[in-house]
Amino acid sequence: MDIIFDQYQIREWRQSDVPSLAKYANNCNIALNLRDGFPHPYGEKDAKAFIERTNAIKPSTSFAIATNAEIIGGIGLVLRRDIHRFSAEIGYWLAEPYWDRGIMTKAVRLVCDWAFTELNLTRIFAEPFAANQASIAVLRNCNFVHEGTSRKSAYKDGQFLDQEIYALVR
């Protein structure tokens, strides 16, 4: 995968991404909206382990969003199995200095187009926390449909949270 849009690129992770990944991922405004598997604090050791782990998975479904100089975010799909094997969950985060410029809306559109074609998927879904209005706006911008609310389905930072279910099908 190598998709270029505006001055950004969606590409595979590189070992040389460790410093910028650790710099931008170490942010509680990002971690609080993600699963606990995304560490906080986030150090270079975490970045190195993530890149090694993710690059061992083939086909690659986890990608960096990068400028020419450094990575500024991540976007990936978790493929489901068995009867759900034509579905995948999409997840993403962006470095806070780059928020609200439309970058993730474009990245999600491009990665979904790629995934429907290259991975032969029928359904891509996301489960943002109900309070995550920025992520919900991204999904709506990309024509994901709200299918419902999983009430108190997540336990994050000491609280039970509702998750919204959004999906795009073809």
Nearer to ligand COA, 40 or 48 (CB): 40
* Cα 131 off chain centre by: 17
Using rule CB under 6 A, residue 112 touches ligand COA: no
Residue from the set 128, 144, 166, 168 that interacts with ligand COA by CB under 6 A: 128
For residue 50, what are its two tokens?
Answer: 């993530």
To ligand COA, the closest distance from the beta carbon of 35 in angstroms equals 9
Nearer to ligand COA, 64 or 104 (CB): 104
What is the layout of strands, in order, in the sheet containing 2-5? Answer: 2-5, 8-11, 62-66, 71-79, 87-94, 123-126, 159-169, 145-156
Binding mask 70-99 for ligand COA (x = CB under 6 A): ----------------------xxx----x
Nearer to ligand COA, 18 or 126 (CB): 126
Those residues with Cβ within 8 angstroms of residue 24's Cβ, 6 or more apart along the chain or in another chain: 30, 71, 72, 73, 95, 96
Give the Cα separation of 42 and 59 in Å (integer).
Answer: 26
Residues that bind ligand COA (CB under 6 A): 30, 33-34, 92-94, 99-105, 126, 128, 132-135, 137-138, 141
